[in-house]
Structure 1
Amino acid sequence: MPGKALILVENLSVPFDRRVWQESTTLRDAGWDVHVICPQGTKRDRESYVELDGVKIHRYPLTAATGGPRGYVKEYGTALWHTYRLARRIGPVDVVHACNPPDLLYLVAKRLKRQGAKFVFDQHDLCPELYLSRFAGRGEDFLYRQVCRLERATYRAADVVIATNESYRNAAVTRGNMPADKVFVVRSAPVIERFRQVPAEPELKKGKPHLLCYLGVMGPQDGVDYALRSLALLREEREDWHAVFVGSGDTFDDMVALSKKLGLDDLVEFTGRIPDEDLVRYLSTADVCLSPDPYNPLNDVSTMNKVMEYMAMSRPIVSFELREARVSAGDAAVYASDNDEAEFARLTSRLLDDPEERARMGKLGKERVEGPLAWGNSQKALLAAYAAAKET
């Protein structure tokens, strides 16, 4: 019989974190009493406690890290203390479900295990690869080795691991020494109901024939700078496009500054985070969507939510050559090799000139997210992971 589940997440608030919210509602529908501990959002998800659609959400105040690794030590220490404090208030649970980053929440999970809980580790990121990608100049230094130790400790404490794709599953089995039958792939998938096309609005193109769109976080590893430099190269050949960048993040201000430096002010627009109804307006109008995450140790093996969301909206995609990008998008994207910004620009231009190819790619992407990559398949894997945890 289902019992009481506690989900721990540090890097986003809930329900803003779509994956965690989907998992929470899936478990709720299966009869679980679901509690979530997460940080408060900056502009939304501000209540310290709220019950939404039967999911009980406990939030704590948290200031995001700035600067180098020292800032993250402070952020993660604060988050860990609040998570432990709220977990004690919630009391014993049957399953504690910890989502990384960071690979520190296992410390709370181990305390709950002493009270009889099973531990499900939901690996959203490979933290060693995240460290190498975010702090590329530091290499495999002392802090990197500590990150690896924390990952190993988390694997050791886990009864079951949930991986977002086969690359992450392979890491859990090989370097994490997890039994293969205790590692389940629960792919992130867009909520189809959230991504419904609406009539295109030509005025969003600012008088241009074409609209390019980027959707997502703007952090050091997300490649918005690559996209902007590619657009600067595209401008040398043609100016029949307008580009909109939707989202925010650590490097938002830097990217706005870079756009100005590259002379793209009249062609590039930054919206920040916007409501869903505005998001679908832009995506419904976009001719080509950009996924400029560069090749690095993390991006190569990670599933990009933006790619899945573009496909849900039947949009063709330009991406760099990444292993898991190909797994997700297949022929719904074209791929520039070796972080080649000039090739990224050429592929974008090629798609702008070929409406039939854009339509074909968009149709393929839609079929993928409604078929083999649909959330319904992940729901089954999630419930199987919980069943395996309870049997451990």
Structure 2
Amino acid sequence: MSRQRAPHVLIIVQNLPVPLDRRVWLECKALRAAGYEVSVICPKGPGDPAYAVLDGVHLYKYAPPKQAEGLAGYAWEFVYCWLRTAALTLKVRKRARFHVMQACNPPDTYWALALPWKLLDGVKFIFDHHDLNPEVFRSRFGEPKELGGKVQLAILKWLERRTFRTADRVISTNTSYQDIAVRRGGVPREHTTVVRSGPDTSVMRPTHADADLRRGGKHLVAYLGIMGPQDGVDGVLLAADRIVHHHGRTDFRFVLLGFGDCLDDLKKQCTDLGLDDYVEFTGRVGPEQISRYLSAASVGLSPDPRSPLNDVSTMNKTMEYMAYALPVVAYRLTETVVSGGECAVYVEPGDSDGLADAVVALSDDPAKRAELGAAGRRRAEQVLDWRPQAQAYVGVYDELLGFASAGPFPDGWPAVDRRSADQQAEKLVDQWGNRLVDLRDDAALREFAATRALTLQDESERATGPTAS
């Protein structure tokens, strides 16, 4: 395929709207930078139009179904989303022929949509493997003992196998998922590529904290992510209860950033525990809110309980905390340790008392927070960053299609600190005007990780403008 004719990629997402789905949006931007045409089909978020073009990406959206309840409700949700997506593929095709369909699970049903396009129009199929649906089932319901549960699990395994076998290439979020694609899906290892959901550390970086977000407290403890049955957010509230009522630490505040099936139950649990004055639920949040809260927090929590799913899954929140130089307390899960390395405090899974005690100990130890926060930021930059992942991701398309793309960074490898030499005297701010931490100065980074506050030098620079260096 010649470079003059840019291939068209159609990405299908059911779990989240785009660009709210951060991984998929990074993928879209990488493909666009490399010269590909990109369309996305996904559910609408609040206030989203049915069609829009954002940063050159064509977004086709359908009204999401009502929240599912019970087996019949989930089955209807899958059928509804599949049919709405199928209809929109025709609309995309009417505008422009697409050469590749990428499906992001859950669910594992879009192989059945890709198959006729493969047969009738020569479309290639790439499976972006986000979740292990058989493990999701086991994590929520345990190993089935009744016939009905065994049948449901067998169907999930069959759908997963069909997805693997229909795919021309498989993109795995970590090596554990890659091994499952090879072992359980029968995918040749050379047809699999690991693309981690690493943070874009040139964008996700700490800002000088807004103390008002701590709501009068000394320490703010943050949780960022989906709030489903498998995410362990109830354990955050149990830890908060122990910190406030057992340790008597009324100087702590907690913020839970995100949404999910369990949000209403979590709010009720919070009230029942007498924590409404200490816990804030933000609901759905955008990039600026995430940046401001994670920059103001003292500790980030990864409370995912051990389960067949969680133990082999990469938790994006852990890496995002690290990008903001936020010290992490996490349950010791296999892939969480792979992400965090030695830059986190680990607690045995399910020990909410231990989680609480670790949060208190870390909050009361500014030197440890400085060490973990600064090391976490450097690990995010040097090991986990999205930039090498973007190269691997675009490489899958280039190889499959024989397309000589410009690569995800046609203008050169982006620097973490984007100021050029003639910009040294300008204030360093993000796209929303928030003052950024100067990451070139290791001492300033450690100071920020410990205090989440401006240093005396920063305060002076705020008044007079930063000096050249």
Query: TM over 0.5, yes or no?
Result: yes
Amino acid at match of 2:99: D
For the residue of structure 2 that corresponds to 1:263, the secondary structure is coil
For the residue of structure 1 that corresponds to 2:216, the secondary structure is coil
Q: CA deviation at 1:260?
A: 1.1
1:280-320 deviations in whole A, cap 9, x for unaligned?
22211111111111111111111111111111100011111
Amino acid at match of 2:247: E
1:38-61 deviations in whole A, cap 9, x for unaligned?
1111x24x1111111111111111
Q: CA deviation at 1:137?
A: 7.5
Amino acid at match of 1:300: D
For the residue of structure 1 that corresponds to 2:42, the secondary structure is strand
Amino acid at match of 1:238: G
Q: CA deviation at 1:207?
A: 2.4
TM-score by length of 2: 0.80
The aligned counterpart of 2:204 is: 195
CA–CA distance in 2 between the matches of 1:58 and 1:273? 21
CA–CA distance in 1 between the matches of 2:343 and 2:248? 24
1:235-314 to 2 correspondences below 5 Å: 235=244, 236-239=246-249, 240-314=251-325
Q: CA deviation at 1:195?
A: 2.5
Contact map agreement 1:244 1:270 (CA 8 A) in 2: yes
Q: CA deviation at 1:338?
A: 3.4
Contact map agreement 1:212 1:287 (CA 8 A) in 2: yes
Q: Of residues 103, 108, 117 in structure 2, which corresponds to 1:98? A: 103
* Percent of paired sites with the same residue: 43
Matched, 1:218 2:222: no
For the residue of structure 2 that corresponds to 1:253, the secondary structure is helix
Flag the 1:388–1:131 CA change in 2: closer, same or farther, 3 A.
Answer: farther
CA–CA distance in 2 between the matches of 1:70 and 1:329? 39
Contact map agreement 2:206 2:323 (CA 8 A) in 1: no
CA–CA distance in 1 between the matches of 2:289 and 2:8? 37
Q: Of residues 19, 27, 33 in structure 2, which corresponds to 1:23? A: 27
Matched, 1:163 2:165: no
CA–CA distance in 2 between the matches of 1:58 and 1:266? 41
Structure 1 runs, 4 residues or longer, greater than 6 Å off = none
Amino acid at match of 1:84: A
The aligned counterpart of 1:76 is: 78
CA–CA distance in 1 between the matches of 2:11 and 2:349? 38
Q: CA deviation at 1:107?
A: 0.8
Contact map agreement 2:42 2:61 (CA 8 A) in 1: yes
The aligned counterpart of 1:129 is: 135
Contact map agreement 1:93 1:117 (CA 8 A) in 2: yes
The aligned counterpart of 1:357 is: 368
Amino acid at match of 1:277: E
Amino acid at match of 1:335: Y
Contact map agreement 1:119 1:389 (CA 8 A) in 2: no
C-alpha RMSD of the superposition: 1.6
Q: Of residues 348, 351, 361 in structure 2, which corresponds to 1:340? A: 351
For the residue of structure 1 that corresponds to 2:393, the secondary structure is helix
Amino acid at match of 1:28: R
Moved more, 353-362 or 83-92: 83-92
CA–CA distance in 2 between the matches of 1:274 and 1:162? 27
Amino acid at match of 2:243: L
CA–CA distance in 2 between the matches of 1:8 and 1:375? 21
Contact map agreement 2:333 2:349 (CA 8 A) in 1: no
Q: CA deviation at 1:154?
A: 0.5
The aligned counterpart of 1:116 is: 122
1:6-85 to 2 correspondences below 5 Å: 6-41=10-45, 43-44=46-47, 46-85=48-87
CA–CA distance in 2 between the matches of 1:278 and 1:124? 25
Q: CA deviation at 1:193?
A: 4.5
Q: CA deviation at 1:390?
A: 2.7
Amino acid at match of 1:301: V
CA–CA distance in 2 between the matches of 1:291 and 1:194? 22
Q: CA deviation at 1:10?
A: 0.6
For the residue of structure 2 that corresponds to 1:270, the secondary structure is strand
Amino acid at match of 1:371: Q
Matched, 1:228 2:237: yes
For the residue of structure 1 that corresponds to 2:102, the secondary structure is strand
Contact map agreement 1:214 1:289 (CA 8 A) in 2: yes
Amino acid at match of 1:93: F
Amino acid at match of 1:101: P
CA–CA distance in 2 between the matches of 1:318 and 1:7? 34
CA–CA distance in 2 between the matches of 1:313 and 1:64? 35
Q: CA deviation at 1:194?
A: 4.0
For the residue of structure 1 that corresponds to 2:342, the secondary structure is helix
For the residue of structure 2 that corresponds to 1:98, the secondary structure is strand
Q: CA deviation at 1:244?
A: 1.1
Flag the 1:65–1:389 CA change in 2: closer, same or farther, 3 A.
Answer: farther
CA–CA distance in 2 between the matches of 1:144 and 1:65? 22
CA–CA distance in 1 between the matches of 2:352 and 2:258? 21
1:172-211 deviations in whole A, cap 9, x for unaligned?
0111111111000011122335423222233322322211
Amino acid at match of 2:393: L
Q: CA deviation at 1:276?
A: 2.8
Q: CA deviation at 1:36?
A: 0.8
Moved more, 107-116 or 1-10: 1-10
Question: Where does the alignment leave 5 or more consecutive residues of structure 1 unmatched?
Answer: none
CA–CA distance in 2 between the matches of 1:54 and 1:133? 39
Q: Of residues 174, 183, 197 in structure 2, which corresponds to 1:174? A: 183
Matched, 1:150 2:159: yes
Amino acid at match of 1:4: H
Q: CA deviation at 1:110?
A: 0.7
CA–CA distance in 2 between the matches of 1:26 and 1:204? 33
